[in-house]
């Protein structure tokens, strides 16, 4: 029978569902915020990623049907940053563009929106990407000051204007800074991560070890030239940037010296075992398989099933991967052991280790996820082997595309067939996607 001839691992292709492929993906170097990109604007980074994608793929500037970008902290002048970036990148001005936001899984949302559009037959080729620029964030006047200033516009007489100006008090001048804190709970993410690590009994040492692993693996990947998604960036007035600059393998001793950053004095999350504020942008070209082949591309991977999940933003803020992983595997009919390449977003070492423990706990699966048993913990020898957000950096809106592109590259390099991306996000949300290697 023909069955004997089937490969060991079957393709995840489903009848009646379009095959959608990742043609290629690129990103700017991820830089610690306040460094070389400091004087740019978000759309500059996004534009650079788009240009890089154009150069890398050589796609005609009008062959793209739609552009979608993800971002978290919006520059108010360029709230639809996708459009501003696309115009400057040289794409045809006839290509519509929109921007999405879903915290740290914003570019995942951009990609899955693209997948949806292609699957629905509305588009054949979509560029998805993400950008985050933390070197400059919108700092606002206080609400009272804003109210006064808005009233000032409407004041007709000089007297009315003076009266309004006279109502300003020194306290009104205090600015409002955006915080990496949950609006609903007012808790900062680092604080939540520290509590999560404590809840799962993850020690400071484990976290430091994991962070050190991330930096060491990233360093090796950088040195070996594996981070081929990075495109160089000639920053106006500055040097060409061609490498991520936050990779800094330290020693356990050095890391142990740091004081806890959020929960004082007994917390375990420190600056060294957390991801840091990063500037960067990413972009991927997604097509229907037919279209890619028609244009003469050799796609890198199939984008298969994906899920979004959400949980309690207070106590389960960062557990998205634990909830999303079993769900997406179930959709694909796969088991954890079938996955060759894992790329999980590393918000905090404590968050990753907590998720690994949650996924390895039958009690957690039964008590909180309503499942009959645990999905299992991904083996570390398949896990984030080229570094992760802790070391490479984490521009909130851009990380998702980096994860997907990295899975595609690793599948090729390591000869695997299935990859899994998972990430947590503010709001207690999460995402996972299964990626299948394109046949060589």
Partner 1 sequence: SVAVKSLGSSEGLKSEKYMQTTFTWTHVNYEIKGDVAVIRISDPNSKVNTLSLQMQKEMTEVMDEVMGNSAIKSVVLISSKPGCFIAGADINMIQACKSTEEVTRLSQEGQKIFEKIEKSPKPIVAAINGSCLGGGLEFAIACQYRVATKSKKTALGTPEVMLGLLPGAGGTQRLPKMIGLPNAFDMMLTGRNIRADKAKKMGLVHQLVDTLGPGLKSPEERTIEYLEEVAIDCARGIVNKKLALTKEMNMMQKIQDHVMSYSFVQNRIYSTVEKKVLKQTKGLYPAPMKIIECVKAGMEQGPDAGYLAESQNFGKLAMTPESKALVGLYHGQVACKKNRFGVPEKEVKTLAILGAGLIGAGIAQVTVEKSINTILKDITEEALNQGQHQVYKGLNDKTKKKSITSFERDSILSNLTGQLDYSGFEKADMVIEAVFEDLAIKHKVLKEVEAVIPPNCVFASNTAALAIKDIAAASKRPEKVVGMHYFSPVDKMQLLEIITTDKTSKDTTASAVALGLKQGKVVIVVGDGPGFYTTRCLAPMLAEAVRVLQEGVDPKKLDSLTTGFGFPVGAATLADELGIDVAAHMAENLGKAFGSRFGGGNLELLKTMVAKGFKGRKSGKGFYIYQSEPKPKDINPELKEIVESYKMMPNPAVSSDSDVQYRLISRFVNEAVLCLQEGILTNPVEGDIGAVFGLGFPPFLGGPFRFVDNFGADKLVEKMKTFEEVFGNQFTPCQLLLDHAKDPSRKFHN
The token duo for 348 is 């905090």
394 a catalytic residue: yes
Q: Which of 130, 132, 128 is nearest to 67 (CA)?
A: 128
Which of the following is catalytic: 43, 123, 191, 424? 424
* Count of residues that bind partner 1 according to CB under 8 A: 28
Q: Which of 423, 414, 398 is nearest to 230 (CA)?
A: 398
**Residues 311 to 370: which contact partner 1 by CB under 8 A?**
312, 314-316, 319, 354, 357-358, 361, 363-364, 367-368
**H or E stretch including 22?**
strand 20-27
User: Does 186 help bind partner 1 (rule: CB under 8 A)?
Assistant: yes
- CA separation for the pair 23, 285 (Å, rounded): 5
Q: What are phi and psi of 219, to 5 degrees?
A: -60, -45
* 3 state SS of 301: strand
Pairing of strands 66-70, 97-100: parallel
Radius of gyration for the alpha carbons in the chain, expressed in angstroms and rounded: 23
User: Does 194 help bind partner 1 (rule: CB under 8 A)?
Assistant: yes
Considering beta carbons, is residue 207 or 316 the nearer one to partner 1?
A: 316
Considering beta carbons, is residue 184 or 251 the nearer one to partner 1?
A: 184
What burial letters (b/e) apply to 9-23, b meaning 16+ CB within 10 Å? eeebeeeeebbbbbb
401 a catalytic residue: no
104 a catalytic residue: yes
**Residues 233 to 272: which contact partner 1 by CB under 8 A?**
263, 265-266
- CA separation for the pair 210, 215 (Å, rounded): 9
Bridge partners for 24 per DSSP:
285
Q: Sketch the per residue contact string, 137 through 176, with partner 1: x for CB under 8 A, - otherwise.
A: ----------------------------------------
Among 43, 47, 83, 195, binds partner 1 (CB under 8 A): 195
| Angle subtended at Cα 392 by Cα 138 and Cα 386, rounded to the nearest 5 degrees | 150
Cis amide leading into 265 (omega within 30): yes
- CA separation for the pair 77, 95 (Å, rounded): 20
Among 185, 216, 228, 310, binds partner 1 (CB under 8 A): 185
Number of other CB atoms surrounding residue 239 within 10 Å? 9
The token duo for 106 is 């914003």
Considering beta carbons, is residue 209 or 315 the nearer one to partner 1?
A: 315
Considering beta carbons, is residue 54 or 349 the nearer one to partner 1?
A: 349
Which of the following is catalytic: 191, 345, 394, 431? 394
CB of 218 to partner 1, least distance (A): 29
CB of 256 to partner 1, least distance (A): 15
Tell me the window of 166-174, 196-204, 391-399, 415-423 that interacts with partner 1 (CB under 8 A). 196-204
User: Does 27 help bind partner 1 (rule: CB under 8 A)?
Assistant: no
CB of 315 to partner 1, least distance (A): 2
* 3 state SS of 387: strand
CA distances to 136, 234, 247, 400 from 40, in Å: 9, 12, 22, 22
CB of 189 to partner 1, least distance (A): 14
Pairing of strands 20-27, 301-310: antiparallel
Q: Is residue 230 within 8 Å of residue 244, measured between CB atoms?
A: yes
Considering beta carbons, is residue 22 or 353 the nearer one to partner 1?
A: 353
CB of 261 to partner 1, least distance (A): 14
CB of 202 to partner 1, least distance (A): 9
CB of 360 to partner 1, least distance (A): 9
Tell me the window of 7-15, 199-207, 240-248, 375-383 that interacts with partner 1 (CB under 8 A). 199-207
CB of 184 to partner 1, least distance (A): 4
- Count H helices, E strands: the chain? 14, 12
CB of 367 to partner 1, least distance (A): 7
SS3 content of the chain, % helix, strand, coil (to 5): 40, 20, 40
Considering beta carbons, is residue 73 or 199 the nearer one to partner 1?
A: 199
Number of other CB atoms surrounding residue 192 within 10 Å? 27
Pairing of strands 278-288, 31-32: antiparallel
Considering beta carbons, is residue 111 or 375 the nearer one to partner 1?
A: 375
Considering beta carbons, is residue 255 or 358 the nearer one to partner 1?
A: 358
Considering beta carbons, is residue 259 or 266 the nearer one to partner 1?
A: 266
- The residues of the shown chain that bind partner 1, judged by CB under 8 A, are 183-186, 191, 194-196, 198-201, 263, 265-266, 312, 314-316, 319, 354, 357-358, 361, 363-364, 367-368
> Which residues are part of the catalytic machinery?
104, 394, 424
């Amino acid at each position: 029978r023909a069955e004997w001839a089937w490969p060991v691992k079957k393709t995840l292709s489903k009848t009646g569902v379009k095959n959608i492929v990742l043609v290629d993906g690129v990103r700017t170097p991820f830089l610690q915020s306040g460094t070389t990109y400091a004087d740019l604007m978000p759309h500059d980074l996004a534009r650079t990623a788009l240009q890089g994608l154009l150069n890398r793929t050589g796609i005609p500037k009008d062959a793209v049907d739609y552009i979608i970008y993800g971002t978290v902290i919006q520059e108010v002048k360029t709230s639809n940053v996708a459009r501003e970036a696309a115009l400057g990148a040289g794409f045809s001005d006839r290509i519509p563009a929109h921007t999405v936001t879903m915290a740290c899984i914003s570019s995942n949302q951009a990609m899955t929106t693209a997948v949806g559009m292609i699957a629905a037959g509305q588009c054949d080729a979509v560029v998805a990407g993400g950008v985050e620029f933390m070197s400059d964030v919108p700092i606002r006047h206080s609400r009272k000051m804003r109210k006064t200033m808005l009233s000032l516009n409407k004041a007709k007489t000089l007297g009315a204007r003076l009266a309004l100006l006279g109502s300003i008090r020194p306290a009104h001048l205090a600015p409002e800074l955006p915080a990496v804190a949950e609006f609903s709970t007012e808790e900062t993410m680092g604080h939540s991560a520290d509590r999560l690590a404590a809840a799962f009994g993850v020690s400071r040492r484990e976290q430091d070890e994991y962070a050190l692993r991330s930096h060491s693996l990233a360093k090796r990947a950088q040195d070996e030239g594996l981070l081929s998604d990075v495109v160089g960036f000639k920053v106006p007035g500055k040097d060409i940037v061609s490498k991520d600059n936050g990779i800094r393998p330290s020693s356990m001793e050095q890391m142990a010296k740091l004081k806890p950053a959020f929960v004082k004095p007994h917390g375990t999350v420190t600056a060294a075992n957390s991801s840091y504020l990063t500037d960067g942008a990413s972009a991927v070209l997604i097509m229907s398989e037919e279209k890619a082949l028609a244009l003469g591309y050799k796609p890198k991977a199939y984008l298969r099933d994906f899920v979004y999940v959400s949980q309690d933003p207070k106590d389960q803020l960062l557990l998205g991967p634990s909830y999303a992983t079993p769900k997406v595997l179930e959709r694909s009919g796969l088991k954890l052991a079938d996955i060759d390449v894992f790329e999980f977003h590393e918000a905090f070492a404590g968050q990753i280790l907590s998720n690994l423990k949650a996924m390895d706990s039958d009690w957690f699966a039964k008590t909180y996820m309503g499942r009959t048993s645990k999905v299992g913990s991904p083996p570390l020898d398949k896990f984030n082997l080229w570094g992760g957000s802790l070391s490479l950096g984490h521009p909130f809106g851009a990380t998702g595309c980096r994860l997907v592109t990295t899975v595609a590259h690793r599948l090729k390099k390591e000869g695997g067939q299935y990859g899994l991306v998972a990430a947590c996000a503010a709001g207690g949300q999460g995402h996972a996607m299964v990626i299948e290697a394109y046949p060589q």
